Amino acid sequence: MPELPEVETMRLGISQFAGCRIQSVAFPRQSVRPISVTPRPRTIIAKLVGRVIVAVHRYGKRIAIEIAGSECGDATHWLVIEPRMTGLLLVADAPSPQHVRMQIQLSPLFSSVAKASTSPLSQLLFWDRRGLGTVRLLGEPGLLAACGPERLGPDALIVLGSDYSSRLHASIRAIKVALLDQRAVAGIGNIYAAEILFLAGIDPRLPCCRLTGLMWERLATVTRELLAEAVRLKGSTLGDATYRTPNNALGEFQLQHRVYGRQGLPCQACLRPIQRIVQAQRSTFFCPQCQKRSGQSRSQ
């Protein structure tokens, strides 16, 4: 579920913890299954307890909680969380207790009245039903390897037409498949790729090398605007309703979906049925009429 808008909503919802000290860390399912945690849970716990959260960052679809170094010279660390399909960061109660993967208790660094009244909740949970998510505690080299420019392209919220064209213009891959490549552009997933291409009027099957400069510009503009609107609406909570904001609110951008999950339903623009195809083992939804090869722009 979590793509850029959902992960950004998580970041905004837990950034209040900047300045808080970590009181305790637990990995409740540790004995049930070797969950994807590196290094070992006890090592993470030893390195985190007593430390202060400096800031909460987002790199593509990953959250990186910056942990201050200790006074005895220990370096800054980052707790990097990848929600993957069903992971959630929560400050509220978890939907089901058995899927809580990590539990962090926090105490305010300063017991100021303002802080106490604005953040009554001092617990941060990583909840993950399917358990495909990962938690890593990394130093600076690790952070760079996991979230640096070698791994992630420009953030989709600020991507430019020139970013797209310089990275993809020579590729023969279908544009929809390329949009899911985090090294090309960071943050787009299966839902938003479909929605972006519909709004840009571009056929998801079109090879990247056939897009014109004008189309790259339009694609970038639509990407930024659509994702910004999705962040404003706190992401998309689909039918199964697993996705929640950290405060347990539902997303609202699913009400704006034009093609995703709408196979067979009439296109809102032309009334022809939305089609579902499979590309790179993922569903692609699009309108064959509104998303002709070159969209509204003329191409050869």
Partner DNA sequence: CGTTCAACCTGGGCGC
Partner DNA sequence: TGCGCCCAGGTTGAAC
- Calpha distance 83→81 (Å, rounded): 6
Query: 104 — alpha (psi -120 to 50), left (phi > 0) or beta?
Result: beta
Sole window of 12-20, 39-47, 165-173, 265-273 interacting with DNA (rule: CB under 7 A): 165-173
Q: Hunting for tokens 């571009």 — which residue is that?
A: 202
Cβ 182 to DNA, closest distance in Å? 5
User: Considering only residues 36-75, where is the footprint of DNA by CB under 7 A?
Assistant: 60-62
- The answer to whether the CB of 85 falls within 8 A of the CB of 130 is yes
Q: Which residues, numbered 82-111, are part of the site for DNA (CB under 7 A)?
A: 82, 84-86, 96, 98-99
294 scored as a contact of DNA (CB under 7 A): no
Residue 13 interacts with DNA (CB under 7 A)?
no
Residues 205-234 that bind DNA (CB under 7 A): none
195 is catalytic: no
Active site (annotated) includes residue 140: no
Catalytic hit among 58, 61, 62, 167 = 61
182 belongs to the binding site for DNA (CB under 7 A): yes
Cβ-proximal residues to 123 (8 Å cutoff; 6+ apart), any chain: 91, 103, 104, 105, 106
CB of 140 to DNA, least distance (A): 18
**By the 8 A CB rule, do 191 and 3 touch?**
yes
The rounded distance, in Å, linking the Cα atoms of 104 and 191 is 31
- Of 210, 282, 288, 292, the catalytic one is 282
Plot region of 246 (φ>0 → left; ψ -120 to 50 → alpha; else → beta) = alpha
Q: Which spans of this chain sit near DNA (rule: CB under 7 A)?
A: 1-3, 33-34, 60-62, 82, 84-86, 96, 98-99, 129-132, 170-174, 177, 180, 182, 189-191, 236-240, 242-243, 254, 279-283
Q: Which residue numbers are catalytic?
A: 2-3, 61, 282
